[in-house]
Amino acid sequence: MEINSEVLGTLVQNQEMADWWHSAAIPIPLVDQELAVTLIGFNPKTDDQFMIDTEAAIQNFLELQAFDKLKMAPHIFANFVDICSYLGEDDIPENMQGAQPLSIWNFVHPTAIYASRRQSNDKDIYIVLACECDWEKEHGLQLVFRQGKKLTRVSDQDGHLTRSDAFDIPDSEDELLSAF
pTM for this model (two decimals): 0.94
Question: Looking at residue 174, what is its pLDDT?
Answer: 93
- Full 3-state SS string of the chain: CEEEECCCEEEEECCCCCCEEEECCEEECCCCEEECEEEECCCCCCCHHHHHHHHHHHHHHHCCCHHHHHHHHHHHHHHHHHHHHHCCHHHCCHHHCCCCHHHHHHHEEEEEEEEEECCCCCCCEEEEEEEEECCCCCCCEEEEEECCCEEEEEECCCCCCCHHHHHCCCHHHCHHHHCC
**Average pLDDT of 6-31?**
96
pLDDT given for residue 89 in this prediction: 67
pLDDT in tens, 63-118: 999 999 999 999 999 999 998 888 766 677 888 877 888 899 999 999 999 999 99
Give the pLDDT confidence score for residue 88 in this predicted structure: 67
Q: What is the pLDDT of residue 38?
A: 98
105-162 pLDDT, tens digit each: 999 999 999 999 999 899 999 999 999 999 988 999 999 999 999 999 999 999 999 9
For the chain, the domains span 1-180
pLDDT tens for 22-58 read 999 999 999 999 999 999 999 999 988 999 999 999 9
